[in-house]
Amino acid sequence: MSDAASAEEAAALDAADGLALKRAEFDLDDGVVYLDGNSLGAPPRGVAGRLSDVVGREWGRLGIRAWEESGWWTAPERVGDRIGRLVGAAPGQVVVGDSTSVNVFKAVVAAVRLADTASRDEVLVDAATFPTDGYLARSAARMTGCRIRAVDAADMAREAGPRTAVALVNHVDYRTGRLHDLPAVTAAVRAAGARTVWDLCHSAGALPVRLDADGADFAVGCTYKYLNGGPGAPAFLYVRRALQDRFDSPLPGWNSHADPFAMDPAYAPADGAVRGRVGTPEILSLLALDAALDVWDGVDLAAVRAKSLALTDFFLRCVEAYVPQGRVASVTPGAHAERGSQVSLRCAAGPAGGAGDVMAELIRRGVVGDFRRPDVLRFGFTPLYTRFADAERAARVLGEVLEGARRR
């Protein structure tokens, strides 16, 4: 594939892209290829104006009245329902607030407390999980008298057994971009009598998720990646409706009390997903997220998934064409059923330096991805704003960096 042929193919694919107009709804620098939406999504244009209104009018003019008059108090559930549509959850099962880490802790402890017998004293955790999930799972296990057992996500279904209380699994591996089989793992863990907690950080907003249809018990996820909520945007917690009356959060706060303003020293949990709340909502970041979610209005997640796969396929073909043979190797699965919305390339040390040096040079040349030690280059493809021309340019510049260093 020549440079000209690749560029022509990219232009044709962009011209046929049904999501192409969505890019105009984001504040992007056209001189930069931004492929790090799997770490921090680009800002939707409507967010700045919404925050200005919240600060200037709602907070500035209404003050404390805005909790009721502007709907601040119910925002965690209202925004949660908007996210619910994107992860296959009917209204009333998703609440927004706190961080992913805090929500992982709530969900794992609550799942252990739901165990049908005291003999269920095992917490399974994805061996390749994002480190924080592992730290919190171990802490939750200590607090609940459970043992922790790390297993490969691919083996989770067969490893769940009579001692398992809960399995904490990443839907998409943050390092490799591997997509795990949520329906099959959920069904197997349930058949073993245990609960599932799914980490959706790298799948919410990147591909269709069907939490209700697939029988998930709990799910958590951040909102600053593919949902574009902004740095530090609050996370979400999903609690399946059938479990809500038994959801015993380890972090009971006044916001999840049945009558929060009674200031009762005795805790009585509210009904529904509200039990997932703890303290006062993070209103500024929560409403920035609410505005960011406007870009999803009318978007078909099947179209998002189709474009994601087309982008990553095209990028891999361009990498094969442009990059000197043997300099990089994809650790992201080739099979569509096993791929999220990123491509991770192992890059051995060479004339251009290690993978960290290569990524630093890519960023200097206007191609922004990221690097995971010791040798992985990550490129995230956000279908709402990433163009095929961006994929072609990123692969071409990667080839130039590695080829130029080899020649030197």
Task: List residues with catalytic annotation.
Answer: 130, 199, 224-225, 378
Q: Which helix (H) or strand (E) holds 377?
A: strand 376-380
Q: Which candidate, 88, 275, 96, places its Cα nearest to that of 186?
A: 88
* Nearest-angstrom CA–CA distance, 170 and 188: 16
Render the burial of 166-179: b for 16+ CB within 10 Å, e for the rest. Answer: bbbbbbbbbbbbbb
Determine the distance from the C-alpha atom of residue 199 to the mean position of all C-alpha atoms in its chain, rounded to a whole number. 8
Q: What is the DSSP letter of 60?
A: I
Task: List all residues 6 or more positions away from 68 whose beta carbon is below 8 Å from its beta carbon.
Answer: none
- Residue 108, CA atoms < 13 Å, CB-side half-sphere: 33
Alpha-carbon gap, residue 179 to 162, rounded angstroms: 26
Beta-carbon-side half-sphere exposure of residue 79 (alpha carbons within 13 Å):
31
